[in-house]
Homo-oligomer: A and B are copies of this chain.
């Protein structure tokens, strides 16, 4: 299995777990779990592949991706009641999946010889869109829109870090690992320490 496929597999697996956790919060049945798991797990990469004209889309050419989603859904269906805070698990698994998916999206766009702006954007899109679809479909506020948290910013920093690493001569694989690490550290720092960028305020505080 290629390094890029490994990244895609990992992000699909972990995003599928987050999708199934969201399904557990919506009290769906087992097939509903699998449905949301698939949507979340392959959503971002599917948009990326369609935009890049990749034919076939990664999971259509390799159905094992779908089986992984189903396995993740079954696993969560029978074990989610064992964990204390499903929402905390959701946040942290999503953080992990986001980081890997950003690296995967960046890597696929690089392998298509896209210019830097598009590579960075595909990293962000692959990372953010699956979770966005998950949250929009179940009617929750998308994580990417949570005020005062780094999410799209972490994704952007991750794929941006890969571009910088490549430009100073670091090879592709370590550059993609740097992307995942950068994204993961920023997002984790946001969850633990409340790291954030200044948000827009309609009336700026008087100084």
Contact = CB atoms under 8 A, between A and B. Distances in A.
A35 interface: yes
Contacts of A116: 63
Contacts of A26: 145, 147
A61 to B, nearest CB: 9
Contacts of A52: 56, 60
Interface of A: 23-24, 26-35, 38, 46, 50-53, 55-57, 60, 63, 66-67, 77, 80-81, 86, 114-118, 121, 124, 128, 132, 136-139, 141-142, 144-145, 147-148, 150-153, 156, 196-204
Chain A contact residues: over half helix, strand or loop, or mixed? Answer: helix
Given A51-B57, A118-B63, A141-B139, A81 B32 contact: no
